[in-house]
């Protein structure tokens, strides 16, 4: 382990380093983060420690995980390379919920509306809605639709 990373909760120190690197454009918006293995070797820590640091950045909206590709740096700017479309849709709806544009108890736009708006398949829309449901932001009521969780 590097001598400058000591003490309890090292993953928070690593997350701080990642934030600095994103802010200084060492990891510019639109680029992919180094692999977990490379980061483990650089910081001399276990993979789980790196994953916890990366999860913090993802929670903050600085990066997004793209399955089978890696982690895309979003930074403060629009990424050069968009993540999967379902993630874009989920992020948009999540933002509307967090800003209160979709209030607790309100109905979400229908699948067909979201399909037309984003020009995607029903499967893509359903995948985005499943993400929000797993995050506990929305609930489905059979025969009634999807609603923002109260």
Q: What pLDDT, in 10s, does the model give residues 43-99? A: 999 999 999 999 989 888 888 888 878 898 886 544 445 567 888 899 899 999 998
Q: Is the pLDDT of residue 30 over 90?
A: no
Beta strands in 7-101 (DSSP E): 63-66, 70-73
Name the phi and psi angles at 23, rounded to 5.
-60, -35
Average pLDDT of the chain to the nearest whole number: 85
Sorted by where each begins, the domain ranges of the chain are 10-73, 85-148
User: Tokens 């590097």 sit at which residue?
Assistant: 2
Instruction: List pLDDT tens digits, range 35-47.
Output: 999 999 999 999 9
Supply the CATH classification number for the domain 85-148: 1.10.10.10
pLDDT for the residue numbered 23: 86
Grouping H, G, I as helix, E, B as strand and the rest as coil, residue 31 is coil
pLDDT for the residue numbered 35: 94
Rounded to whole angstroms, what are the CA distances from 55 to 49, 63, 111, 114, 118?
Answer: 10, 9, 29, 28, 27
Backbone φ/ψ region at 14: left (φ over 0), alpha (ψ -120 to 50), beta: alpha
H helix runs in 60-145, sequence order: 85-98, 111-118, 122-134
Q: Which CATH class is domain 10-73?
A: mainly alpha
The CA distance from 54 to 119, in Å, is 31
pLDDT for the residue numbered 79: 46
pLDDT-above-90 percentage for the chain: 44
Beta strands in the chain (DSSP E): 63-66, 70-73, 138-141, 145-148
pTM of the model: 0.50
Of 115, 32, 121, 19, the closest CA to residue 81 belongs to: 32
């Amino acid at each position: 382990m590097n001598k400058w990373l000591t003490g309890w909760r090292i993953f928070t120190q690593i997350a701080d380093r990642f934030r600095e690197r994103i802010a200084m454009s060492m990891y510019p918006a639109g680029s992919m983060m180094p692999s977990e293995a490379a980061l483990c070797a650089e910081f001399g820590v276990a993979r789980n420690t790196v994953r916890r640091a990366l999860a913090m950045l993802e929670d903050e909206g600085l990066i997004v995980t793209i399955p089978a590709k890696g982690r895309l740096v979003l930074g403060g700017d629009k990424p050069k390379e968009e993540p999967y479309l379902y993630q874009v849709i989920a992020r948009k709806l999540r933002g509307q919920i967090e800003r209160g544009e979709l209030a607790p108890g309100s109905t979400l736009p229908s699948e067909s509306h979201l399909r037309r708006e984003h020009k995607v398949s029903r499967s893509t829309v359903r995948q985005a809605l499943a993400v929000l449901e797993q995050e506990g932001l929305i609930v489905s009521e059979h025969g009634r639709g999807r609603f923002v969780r109260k």
